[in-house]
Chains A and B, each alone.
Chain A
Amino acid sequence: MKTIKYISILLCLMLAASCSLFQLDNYDAPSETLRGEVVDVATGEPVLTDQGSEGIRVRLIETSWEGNVTPLDFYCRPDGTFQNTKLFEADYNVRVDGPFLPIYLEDKDGIPVVNQTQDIHLEGEKFITFEVSPFLKVELDEMAMVSDGVITARVKVTRGVSKEDFKTLVSRSGNYDDSYLNLTDIQLFVSQSSSCGYRARDERWSNEIKYTGKEFDTSFGKTITITSNPKNPIPSGRKVFIRAAARINYDTPAGSGTKRWNYSETVEIDIP
């Protein structure tokens, strides 16, 4: 019995010895940090978003790597900032895609016609700023009314980019249509969490108004009222957070089909 025990211990030790258990990886763990923010070029205010694949996407392409590079994607935080603390020291091309005039656009033959991406060398910590032109500016009145558990909020949407500027830029890709400028919907996201948005919304209470064609064109700059879902009153005594969002009929990056929302600030509401 004892012999078997010794033999098995010995065998186990042999197993351990045979793998490169005691060798260090030939690469140090990634430890460089990239921080940044996406701001409105006109006002310097951050471009608000929602964290997730419908929000602002940050794409890193390691340019110092020879040949075949797989892009590394991550997403902005709701306040329009981003950070990744686990990157290798290298040269990167950084690009952001979101609800603003594209900073990178290709024509029909795949040749870049707009390119405001940033090439950086990352070592230690680096902070970069993208100055962009958001499609829309969404303002949510802090004073919302609540009656019988239904929130009535006031939202004002204005264009951040003029129709002409949008057309001039997007036409360069060879794929422009007037319908891209149409506002398609206004959302009222309701959530029990302060990180309120498309991902963190409560579907029972959130609501949307859809618009077809140019229907909304005359309502830009005017105050619109939107309620939470009237069929599902929010129980009294709850504290909820609301956020408004709107988007136009244009996907970023072009061809992805993802139409991203511009967001308002979050407003906290107590349901009486």
Chain B
Amino acid sequence: MKKSILYVLAGLLFLASCQDMYLPPKNTLTDEDLMSSEAGLSIYMARMYSQMPWEDFKYMAQWGLPRRSSWLGCLGVEGTGEAVNRDGVTTAFRGEDDPWWGSSYSLIRDANKLIEGLPAYKDNYSSEAVYNDYIGQAYFVRAYSYYQMARRYGGVPLVTEVIQYPAESDKLERYRASEEDTWNQILADFDKAAELMQPKSTLRGCANKYVALAFKAEAMLYAGSVAKYNSTVSGNLTGIGSKSGNRVIGFGDNAQELSAEWFAEAYKAAREVMTEGGYSLYKKSWAAGDKTAQYRNMVDMWSDLASPENILVREYEYPTLAHGLDAYSSPFLWHSPLAGGTCPTLDFVELFDGLEYHPDGTLKLTTGTSNDKGEYLLFDSPMDLFVNAEPRLRAYVIFPMDEFRKEVIEVRAGIFTGGSEDHVPLLFGGNYSYGAAQSKYADLQYYKGGDKKLFLGSQPTSGIETVEVDGKEMSATGSCGVWQEYYESTITGLHLRKYLSEDMTIEDIGEGKSDQPFILMRYADVLLAAAEAAVELSLAGESSPVQGEDMLVVATEAINAIRERAGADLLTVPLAADEASRNIVRRERRKELAFEHKTKWDLRRWRVQHEGAKELFWGVEKDENIFSSGSKYRFRALYPFYSTVNDKYFFDAHFVNVRPQEFEFNTIDYYFSIPSGEVSKSAYIDQQPNR
């Protein structure tokens, strides 16, 4: 009897322990913890936004989005012509070491989970608007993540729901959708996000209605462009995946209709931001006709968080979240631990107004009709070359001998003692051809011959030759370069100014010590998107997507607004429905948005980077033989030299020869290859059909 009681008791013990086992573990956050209150959801948002594929100071194109490192911090070095860097990161944008693929799907899953999970807690939110805003955020995150994939790969597998694992293992694998369907999904998600979100961000650094619309305009400009310009590449750049049977890259017969449709979407979105968003161009210290004020204005705007131009900003804060732009891209005076990471090119300078040009569009530095003819033009100071330069250029680039952080940025590549009072012959004679791009100053007879006339410096601390000038020894090179065998300083004669902190001292500078914000989307970008979409639609013979509006007037005003702020020459003739007008808009975009991770995408979507198409590489038409040979291309530097016979400066326009860099881009690079691991392990994922 006693025994049976014991058995019963023991049996009861089992029952008692069962119930509580269903309790969720205390150390795990559940959907309910995160989604049932705004406080919880702010954590969810923080997590999503921390994984957003932003291209900012912590993105290096060569390394890819998932790496998020500020090492070597530099901007615009991806073979776009904005700048070059000494290292291997200076390479054409043909692929990324860490591809945006796996991480993209984790982020998309987070977004899908919010879209599916949040409705259960709808009543917990203070208002429908707040609740909708959060759902809108999820759509925005998903749209942006797919957008970052689509412009890399074309069509990708579309997952718009949470796939339960392992319960729905059979649904895990899916084919790449067609490129058309992928862009339409992105369009739908941006639209949904803009519809649901509030006009002002509920959380700092998160999206709002106008952020969604501005990025929608950018994305649709990409989609419209590839749909249109794929037909200019190899007959038509398109292909069908062998596993999926879908048109995973490019478009079919409806390409031109799709293009017009997407340009119209871009135009409408940009216009909505312009008319309702309440943003404006930053002109706080701008003054009409005052070049210095205009230049200062465009220096100040990058760090002013209260700028009315900012639409979405990635903020940094030392010491918790910092980057290292100043540690790598400052001039050599602030070498800590490196310097001169972003060296703007001469070709970039040649896009700007207020300088004199040869008939072939190159900067006029000689008396001849091009820079390999005639003799050098002589200047009292290197700054004289830039005396009338567009203020925007000075705000983006530090000229040789200009001031920065209250110091003179002394840049000199050497001293020349030859020539006569009025005549200084070209150092390389007439040979500045592409084939001779790598010839060095140290190989010239002027330097190594018996009758030495050229003096150079090899390193900042050694091997610097000096010349006696007015009884004083003058070093051949400046305090910021250019050194022939030392690359942790400028290698083009020019330095980046844009985005660098104006007031840091060498003690403040270091890896992970900079905290200026990165502007991911600004109003000028929206103006340029509207203008480009307007001209493209006009070219296609489409009428304005916004009733009763003259698109070309809007476009002309947008371009002029940007030019006026920049201190550039205003358009004298309104934009028209022709390619010349389109090129004007493209050039403006290349100038205004330089060093913002935008140009590399523009070159891709315009399809102007492959052999035979580089005439339009610079936005404006420029003979591609000046800077390229076949599928390869190089950029030029602006090396200042001091001439002793007449106490003047002259500039040698040569391909970057201190540290020669050659770029290559082929048609197949317009679509990145799908990560080979994904292709080889899956019976669903297609490699690009043209690879």
How far, in whole Å, are A78 and B687 apart by their CA atoms in the complex? 29
Point out the residue from A110, A229, A258 that lies within 8 Å of B433, measured CB to CB.
Answer: A229
How far, in whole Å, are A207 and B435 apart by their CA atoms in the complex? 8
Point out the residue from B235, B245, B682 that lies within 8 Å of A254, measured CB to CB.
Answer: B235
Point out the residue from A68, A106, A109, A205 that lies within 8 Å of B435, measured CB to CB.
Answer: A205
How far, in whole Å, are A258 and B610 apart by their CA atoms in the complex? 10
How far, in whole Å, are A204 and B243 apart by their CA atoms in the complex? 46
Q: Which residues of B contact A206 (CB under 8 A)?
A: 435
- B690–A256 contact, CB under 8 A? yes
Chain B residues 576-616 with CB under 8 Å of chain A are 610-612
Point out the residue from B435, B438, B625 that lies within 8 Å of A229, measured CB to CB.
Answer: B435
- A257–B435 contact, CB under 8 A? no
Q: Is A2 an interface residue (CB 8 A)?
A: no
A233, chain B: closest CB distance, angstroms: 10
Q: Indicate the member of A108, A176, A257 with the most B CB atoms within 10 Å.
A: A257
Given contacts A110-B240, A231-B431, contact A257 B233 (CB under 8 A): yes
How far, in whole Å, are A256 and B676 apart by their CA atoms in the complex? 18
How far, in whole Å, are A108 and B434 apart by their CA atoms in the complex? 39
Point out the residue from A177, A207, A255 that lies within 8 Å of B690, measured CB to CB.
Answer: A255
Q: Which residues of B contact A70 (CB under 8 A)?
A: 676, 679-680, 687
Q: Is A237 an interface residue (CB 8 A)?
A: no
Interface string of B11-34 (1 = CB under 8 A from A): 000000000000000000000000
- B436–A258 contact, CB under 8 A? no
Interface string of B661-691 (1 = CB under 8 A from A): 0000011100000001001111100010111
Q: Is A232 an interface residue (CB 8 A)?
A: yes
Q: Is A253 an interface residue (CB 8 A)?
A: yes
B239, chain A: closest CB distance, angstroms: 6
A130, chain B: closest CB distance, angstroms: 21
How far, in whole Å, are A222 and B237 apart by their CA atoms in the complex? 35
- B433–A231 contact, CB under 8 A? yes
Q: Is A147 an interface residue (CB 8 A)?
A: no
Interface string of A193-225 (1 = CB under 8 A from B): 000000000011111101000000000000000
A143, chain B: closest CB distance, angstroms: 25
How far, in whole Å, are A254 and B235 apart by their CA atoms in the complex? 8
How far, in whole Å, are A106 and B437 apart by their CA atoms in the complex? 41
How far, in whole Å, are A258 and B233 apart by their CA atoms in the complex? 11
Q: Which residues of B contact A254 (CB under 8 A)?
A: 234-235
- B239–A110 contact, CB under 8 A? yes
Q: Is B238 an interface residue (CB 8 A)?
A: yes
How far, in whole Å, are A177 and B690 apart by their CA atoms in the complex? 19
How far, in whole Å, are A204 and B681 apart by their CA atoms in the complex? 45
Interface string of B498-515 (1 = CB under 8 A from A): 000000000000000000
Given contacts A175-B235, A257-B666, contact A110 B245 (CB under 8 A): yes
Q: Which residues of A contact B245 (CB under 8 A)?
A: 110
- B610–A109 contact, CB under 8 A? no
Q: Is A30 an interface residue (CB 8 A)?
A: no
Q: Is A268 an interface residue (CB 8 A)?
A: no
Q: Which residues of A contact B681 (CB under 8 A)?
A: 68
Point out the residue from A68, A176, A203, A257 that lies within 8 Å of B234, measured CB to CB.
Answer: A257
Given contacts A70-B680, A110-B242, contact A257 B667 (CB under 8 A): yes
Given contacts A203-B435, A205-B435, A251-B234, contact A257 B680 (CB under 8 A): no
Q: Is B430 an interface residue (CB 8 A)?
A: yes
* Contacts across chains A and B counted by CB atoms under 8 Å: 83
Interface string of B434-452 (1 = CB under 8 A from A): 1111110000000000000
Interface size on B, residues (CB 8 A): 39
Q: Is A44 an interface residue (CB 8 A)?
A: no
Residue ID in chain A nearest B243 by CB atoms: A68
Q: Indicate the member of A184, A210, A231, A259 with the most B CB atoms within 10 Å.
A: A231
A182, chain B: closest CB distance, angstroms: 11
Q: Which residues of B contact A258 (CB under 8 A)?
A: 666-668
How far, in whole Å, are A108 and B255 apart by their CA atoms in the complex? 13
A158, chain B: closest CB distance, angstroms: 23
Q: Which residues of A contact B205 (CB under 8 A)?
A: none
Interface string of B74-91 (1 = CB under 8 A from A): 000000000000000000
B664, chain A: closest CB distance, angstroms: 10
Q: Is B124 an interface residue (CB 8 A)?
A: no
A66, chain B: closest CB distance, angstroms: 9
Q: Which residues of A contact B368 (CB under 8 A)?
A: none
Q: Is B252 an interface residue (CB 8 A)?
A: yes
Residue ID in chain A nearest B679 by CB atoms: A70
How far, in whole Å, are A68 and B241 apart by their CA atoms in the complex? 13
- B433–A251 contact, CB under 8 A? no
Q: Which residues of A contact B439 (CB under 8 A)?
A: 204
Q: Is B236 an interface residue (CB 8 A)?
A: yes
Given contacts A67-B683, A68-B682, A257-B668, contact A232 B689 (CB under 8 A): no
A85, chain B: closest CB distance, angstroms: 23
Point out the residue from A106, A175, A232, A257 that lies within 8 Å of B431, measured CB to CB.
Answer: A232
Point out the residue from B238, B437, B610, B683 that lies within 8 Å of A257, measured CB to CB.
Answer: B610
Residue ID in chain A nearest B242 by CB atoms: A110
How far, in whole Å, are A203 and B628 apart by their CA atoms in the complex? 12
Interface string of A57-69 (1 = CB under 8 A from B): 0000000000110
Residue ID in chain B nearest A251 by CB atoms: B234
Q: Which residues of B contact A259 (CB under 8 A)?
A: 611
Residue ID in chain A nearest B632 by CB atoms: A203
How far, in whole Å, are A177 and B236 apart by their CA atoms in the complex? 11
Residue ID in chain B nearest A70 by CB atoms: B680
Given contacts A109-B240, A232-B431, contact A253 B436 (CB under 8 A): no
Interface string of B405-442 (1 = CB under 8 A from A): 00000000000000000000000001101111111000
Residue ID in chain B nearest A108 by CB atoms: B252
Q: Indicate the member of A68, A184, A203, A255 with the most B CB atoms within 10 Å.
A: A255
Residue ID in chain A nearest B682 by CB atoms: A68
A61, chain B: closest CB distance, angstroms: 10
Q: Which residues of B contact A231 (CB under 8 A)?
A: 430-431, 433, 435-436
Chain A residues 225-250 with CB under 8 Å of chain B are 229, 231-232
A151, chain B: closest CB distance, angstroms: 14
How far, in whole Å, are A68 and B666 apart by their CA atoms in the complex? 27
Residue ID in chain A nearest B431 by CB atoms: A231
- Measured CB to CB, the residues of B under 8 A from A are 233-240, 242-243, 245, 252, 430-431, 433-439, 610-612, 625, 629, 666-668, 676, 679-683, 687, 689-691
**Could you list 6 further interchain pairs (A-B, Cβ under 8 angstroms) beyond the known A110-B689, A229-B436?**
A110-B245, A206-B435, A231-B433, A231-B436, A256-B690, A258-B668
- Measured CB to CB, the residues of A under 8 A from B are 67-68, 70, 106, 108-110, 175-177, 180, 184, 203-208, 210, 229, 231-232, 251, 253-259
Query: Which 6 residue pairs are nearest across A and B when measured between Cβ atoms?
Result: A257-B667, A110-B240, A255-B690, A175-B235, A231-B431, A203-B435
